[in-house]
Amino acid sequence: MTDSVRKVVNAFFALDERDQQAAMSLVLHKYWQGTSDEQPDVHVSRGEVDALVTALTRDVRATVGPGYEHLISSTAEDHLRFGNPHDNYATRVVADLQQQFHDQFIDTSWPECPMHGRHPLWFHAGFWSCVQPVVKIKLGELAPR
């Protein structure tokens, strides 16, 4: 192990459990993005934009409440005009909206993981997912293969 790796590992274990979860979630999310199997969208149709805005609006209303319709549609339009065509359109829009929710303190863990509750879900290939399933089995109680 190099010194820089050891430093990162030590810093990680110096965090409390909540921050460790957040750090882990972020690292896995970045790793995932780097190995993305999603297709880049060179051409995004009006129908795809509308479907994304409709689904996102439904999720935001359900979790945060109404009042963000304009933010959602303007974020979707911005990425249509200025986005990088080599990335997946929906992923860019969702990641940007999520970042705005976190940065503006609208909801710093949006959308909160229904399983663990203390960290956001990440959007990938059409699904919200948690990257850290908690597995905890008592010593001596592992199921036989």
Q: Which residues contact Zn ion (rule: CB under 5 A)? A: 113, 115-116, 130
Residue 72 and residue 56 in contact, taking contact as beta carbons nearer than 8 Å: yes
> In the complex with Zn ion, which residue's Cβ is closer, 58 or 118?
118
Q: Measured from the CB of residue 29, what is the shortest distance to Zn ion in angstroms?
A: 12
**What residues pair up with 122 in beta bridges, in sequence order?**
129
What lies within 8 Å, CB to CB, of 94 at 6+ separation is: 56, 123
The two tokens of residue 51 are: 């479907």
Q: Measured from the CB of residue 113, what is the shortest distance to Zn ion in angstroms?
A: 3
> In the complex with Zn ion, which residue's Cβ is closer, 27 or 115?
115
Annotate 64-74 with b (16+ C-beta within 10 A) or e (fewer). Answer: eeeebeebbbe
Q: Measured from the CB of residue 82, what is the shortest distance to Zn ion in angstroms?
A: 32
Residue 36 and residue 123 in contact, taking contact as beta carbons nearer than 8 Å: no
Helix (H) / strand (E) containing 122: strand 122-124
Q: Measured from the CB of residue 94, what is the shortest distance to Zn ion in angstroms?
A: 17
> In the complex with Zn ion, which residue's Cβ is closer, 6 or 118?
118
> In the complex with Zn ion, which residue's Cβ is closer, 49 or 113?
113
